[in-house]
Structure 1
């Protein structure tokens, strides 16, 4: 049962304090390691096929290294005292989650919108999305915020908790490394098409189950919060697979259906226009309160998943006890 309590306490820790800026975050170290490895590879490999083969080393060294370092640290601390190892594991798992950070980022955009500070809202949105935000109107700012919060329910909450349940802090940290790799080198552009393919593919695989679990949690959450649960289920069934990502469409379509809004559409990245498939139906215009509703769905889904982690561990513990008896 100790694993369940560690996950619960890690989530509570992240929910309460998030990631204080004065504490070095493991993702910073991962990012520096990825950049260093990329420099080494590019200095030695100059063909597309060579880059594709070399790209396999990113998940092996970065994700594998994150797992090994975390496992070794916890082993060492466990030799000193088990409580010290448990405390470290709680803190390490908490660093792989970003529920408070995601909520704060979304609500910062919301506050600017409520104050009719359009430049501030665009700047705040620009901190959490890759698209150009300088000329977006209010509905498009809301759309960008809702899409980001919805998509990151998987990456920033459910997936790391899912892997923490399976393999504790080492596997949760390995997942965070995979996710960081995808955000840095997993692009289908001229620079990373060959070098980043393995990292992007592994991130897709890692999020496959959590994305679908998240969609189910969001549908139930819509029912609990008196939103449109039937609409959420219908949009997941109809629209989730239209998204260019094999996973992001599940939380986005669920949120769109629950709120009765339409996500997706035209975005501009570094001056280049791009179209992303629509998710949901525009039953009404988007409004700033949709950010608050999405945040509530996020926290409900996170709390529900933590509860499921506890119940799963409790069930395994009881089944093990019954077998021993």
Structure 2
């Protein structure tokens, strides 16, 4: 059986959340995102978009071909894996589905990346913190002070609450491991080619827009879940999180990223956004939230708690839904 019933989907999603909490990003076998990245680069080399750099429409069509090819291969491969596993034994099909859905989630991995910034910050090792910030953001990090390093980590955790947790689970509930993996492929495409620079502004257009479309509803669901998480956690303000989304989210250049970032800023009582430096050029990002106090390393921990709060709410929700409809 390739397609599972809704009660089965709910249990698979719950299992995937728990697996990610315990295992995190697997070191072995090779993480599917690594294979997706290799596939993207291979298809990009085959399409040779650089040959048509003076023909933007042609390059855009090649970018559409890249997106369709990668998404189709990832969905079909996952579908065949689930089908073969289920044909061998239904419980193996469940195990394979739960495992691969868990690899599309990255709650533990996101926490670990944030803690790599937090621990040296509180120990006063700013250069080490800057190094680890450079692993999770694209901006220049060599001149960041402690507050700016904290901001970068908070923004990363907040923004990725959508694509490292809520979005893959939404698509897992809609179409199991194959659709969750299709989403992860779309998100990886955006992270690799969805840039507005000279190389990818046309070739990565379809990948970037696809990611925006797929995240549109999950981002707004994430905002509501973050406000609810803030309601349940100490030192966070749910009402301010909700208000911040309505006031600030639209200022962000992304149609989706401003929602979780402004929710986190409101919940914590801090201001996110501001001046970032990319390749030596300063860029002013939309400022979100009210600066009721200065940013500090402890805000990284609070944002991670917000992330885990959202995952606990989702886990409780899918279990409750399973109990109601089973």
Task: Report the CA distance between 1:311 and its aligned residue.
Answer: 3.7
* Cross-structure match for 2:283: 274
Task: Report the CA distance between 1:26 and its aligned residue.
Answer: 0.8
* Cross-structure match for 1:10: 16
Task: Report the CA distance between 1:44 and its aligned residue.
Answer: 8.3
1:112 aligns with 2:120: yes
Instruction: For residues 219-256 of structure 1, give each alpha carbon's deviation from its aligned partner in whole angstroms, at most 9, with x where no partner exists.
Output: 11111113111111111000001101100000000000
Gapped regions of structure 1 (runs ≥ 5): 319-325
Instruction: For residues 255-305 of structure 1, give each alpha carbon's deviation from its aligned partner in whole angstroms, at most 9, with x where no partner exists.
Output: 000000000000011111111100101100111110110000000011212
Is the deviation greater in 273-282 or in 218-227? 218-227
- Alpha-carbon distance in 2 for matches of 1:168, 1:45: 38
Instruction: Indicate conservation of the 8 Å contact 1:161/1:306, yes or no.
Output: no
* Cross-structure match for 1:224: 232
Instruction: For residues 127-182 of structure 1, give each alpha carbon's deviation from its aligned partner in whole angstroms, at most 9, with x where no partner exists.
Output: 11111111100000000000000000001011101100110000000000000000
Selected match of 1:42 from 26, 41, 48: 48
- Alpha-carbon distance in 2 for matches of 1:224, 1:184: 36
1:27 aligns with 2:33: yes
Task: Report the CA distance between 1:45 and its aligned residue.
Answer: 5.0
> Residues 159-308 of structure 1: matches in 2 within 5 Å?
159-226=167-234, 227-308=236-317
Task: Report the CA distance between 1:96 and its aligned residue.
Answer: 0.4
Q: CA RMSD in A?
A: 1.3
- Alpha-carbon distance in 2 for matches of 1:217, 1:261: 19
- Alpha-carbon distance in 2 for matches of 1:274, 1:314: 49
Task: Report the CA distance between 1:307 and its aligned residue.
Answer: 2.6
- Alpha-carbon distance in 1 for matches of 2:65, 2:319: 35
Selected match of 2:83 from 75, 78, 81: 75
Task: Report the CA distance between 1:43 and its aligned residue.
Answer: 6.0
- Alpha-carbon distance in 2 for matches of 1:314, 1:80: 28
TM-score by length of 1: 0.95
TM-score by length of 2: 0.94
* Cross-structure match for 2:69: 61
Task: Report the CA distance between 1:13 and its aligned residue.
Answer: 0.7
Gapped regions of structure 2 (runs ≥ 5): 1-6
* Cross-structure match for 1:322: none
Is the deviation greater in 207-216 or in 40-49? 40-49
- Alpha-carbon distance in 1 for matches of 2:36, 2:281: 30
Instruction: Indicate conservation of the 8 Å contact 1:10/1:94, yes or no.
Output: yes
* Cross-structure match for 1:321: none
